[in-house]
């Protein structure tokens, strides 16, 4: 095995694995687990060349409308070849590198999307590539990602040998997720990979629903993005995305009604298959997977009931329960691989013909939509926020909330400074 160019930080094993509990039995990594199974009856995603080609920077005025700015800001550091630098991230603490990583393995599509935004090659592997929805890049001119060679870390479990085979320079993965969600993983396994293959550098940002994630610092999307930008020494691109994000937040202030009672009540659920009868409830939380819904100020219909969050209890609800709650808008996860038309011709049509579901206000008013992916990075968040705003505030959105033409130039390193 060749010599690693990357050094792990001084964090102790106990600090690295803060909040660790006994291993789970597959959980979120298992594609067959109820409530977190992508629909397999839809068309496969298309993907093209690795990352960007065209696009020119458009002019615009930067605003400061409360973007979730990262704590690791600053200009491009200009690290010279062979010079070391350190980046700190919870829960592993400070990690020192003696060169910029060339290959990497990512936890999920949130981090993969951040890498695309920074203009680096996609990760060699993620947990489940089918949950990295690269078709959303079709909404952004000049951006495409080929994930055809991207390996799945999860396959009826997570094998330590896969990490050796991938030989990534850095693992952008929270080791707590490995230890708490999968059987057979011990702290010694994480330490072994950190020493023999490459360091861990990540945080389970997509959700705060796991008990073991309450004992260390949690990051917003842009805080985590700032950390990764410093890791890959691409802080200039990060800062330009912050500016673009600030502008979108400013535009949202004109879309979201000032009075809470004027905002719709929504229920976010996981619906497996095209004829679902039961659903996994997702209460809107602080994780990055809910960012667009928090930014749009929607009311969480489930939070006003005794329905428990799926992440905490693996709970389910049926149409009878939904009829009692009767949210104004229904948002179903698990169908991101379908187009809007495919979703309507399957799930929505099934509900229209269902004896109980057809009585729901959301079904009667034709307000049943795809609810967005579990994982989103900065580019995906622009696309998902635009879509979500058009879903819940159709009369208040008259155009683009962000400028998609400005994204590819930033990714290519030609954006406005």
Q: Which of 53-57, 161-165, 259-263 has the lowest mean pLDDT?
A: 53-57
Name the pLDDT band for 366 (thresholds 50, 70, 90). very high
What's the confidence (pLDDT) of residue 312?
A: 65
pTM of the full predicted structure? Answer: 0.82
In this prediction, residue 32 carries a pLDDT of: 33
The tens digit of pLDDT for each residue in 108-160 reads 999 999 999 999 999 999 999 999 999 999 999 999 999 999 999 998 888 99
Sign of torsion over alpha carbons 326, 39, 30, 384: negative
| pLDDT above 80: residue 56 | no
The three-state secondary structure class of 152 is strand
For the segment 350-367, the average pLDDT, to the nearest whole number, is 98
pLDDT at 104: 98
- Percent over 90 (pLDDT), the chain: 68
Cis peptide before 47 (omega within 30 of 0): no
Confidence of residue 417 (pLDDT cuts 50, 70, 90): low
pLDDT at 311: 65
What's the rounded Cα separation, in Å, for the pair 388 and 363? Answer: 17
Q: Which CATH architecture has domain 6-250?
A: 3-Layer(aba) Sandwich (3.40)
pLDDT recorded at residue 288? 94
User: Which of 56-65, 278-287, 316-325 shows the lowest mean pLDDT across its residues?
Assistant: 56-65
Regarding predicted confidence, which is higher, 52 or 412? 412
Model pLDDT, residue 15: 30
User: Could you tell me where the beta strands, DSSP code E, fall in 28-114?
Assistant: 85-89, 93-97, 104-106
Phi-psi region of 184 (alpha: psi -120 to 50; beta: other; left: phi over 0): left
154 DSSP 8-state letter: B
Which regions of the chain carry the CATH code 3.40.50.1980? Answer: 6-250, 258-390
**Contact present, 275 and 333 (Cβ < 8 Å):** no
Question: Average pLDDT of the chain?
Answer: 83
> What would be the CATH architecture of the domain defined by 258-390?
3-Layer(aba) Sandwich (3.40)
User: Which of 20-34, 165-179, 299-313 has maximum average pLDDT?
Assistant: 165-179
Q: At 287, list the tokens.
A: 């994780």
The helix/strand/coil state of 131 is: helix
């Amino acid at each position: 095995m060749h010599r690693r160019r990357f050094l792990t930080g001084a964090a102790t094993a106990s600090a690295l694995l803060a909040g660790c509990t006994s291993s789970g039995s597959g959980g979120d990594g298992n594609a067959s687990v109820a409530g977190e199974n992508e629909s397999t009856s839809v068309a496969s995603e298309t993907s093209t060349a690795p990352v960007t080609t065209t696009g020119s920077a458009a002019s615009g005025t930067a605003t400061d409308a409360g973007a979730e700015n990262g704590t690791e800001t600053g200009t491009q550091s200009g690290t010279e070849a062979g010079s070391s630098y350190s980046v700190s991230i919870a829960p592993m603490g400070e990690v020192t590198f003696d060169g910029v990583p060339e290959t990497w393995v990512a936890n999920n599509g949130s981090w993969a999307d951040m890498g695309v935004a920074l203009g680096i090659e996609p990760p060699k592997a993620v947990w489940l590539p089918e949950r990295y929805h690269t078709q959303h890049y079709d909404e952004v001119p000049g951006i495409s990602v080929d994930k055809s060679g991207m390996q799945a870390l999860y396959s009826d479990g997570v094998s330590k040998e896969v990490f050796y085979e991938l030989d990534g320079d850095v693992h952008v993965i929270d080791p707590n997720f490995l230890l708490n969600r999968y059987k057979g993983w011990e702290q010694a396994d994480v330490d072994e990979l950190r020493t023999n293959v490459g360091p861990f550098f990540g945080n389970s940002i997509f959700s705060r629903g796991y008990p073991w994630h309450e004992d260390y610092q949690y990051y917003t999307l842009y805080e985590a993005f700032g950390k990764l930008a410093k890791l890959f020494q691409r802080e200039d691109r990060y800062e330009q995305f912050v500016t673009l994000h600030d502008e979108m937040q400013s535009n949202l202030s004109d879309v979201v009604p000032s009075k809470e009672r004027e905002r719709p009540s929504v229920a976010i659920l996981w619906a497996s298959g095209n004829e679902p009868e039961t659903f996994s409830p997702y209460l809107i939380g602080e994780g990055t997977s809910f960012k667009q819904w928090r930014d749009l100020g929607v009311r969480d219909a489930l939070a006003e009931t005794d329905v428990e969050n799926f992440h905490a209890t693996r709970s389910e609800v049926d149409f009878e329960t939904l009829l009692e709650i009767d949210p104004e808008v229904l948002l179903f996860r698990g169908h991101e691989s379908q187009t809007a038309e495919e979703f309507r011709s399957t799930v929505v049509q099934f509900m229209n013909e269902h004896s109980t579901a057809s009585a729901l206000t959301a079904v009667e008013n034709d307000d049943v939509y795809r609810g967005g992916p579990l994982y989103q990075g900065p580019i995906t968040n622009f696309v998902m926020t635009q879509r979500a705003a058009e879903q819940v505030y159709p009369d208040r959105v008259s155009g683009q909330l962000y400028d998609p033409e400005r994204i590819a130039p930033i990714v290519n390193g030609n954006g406005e400074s």
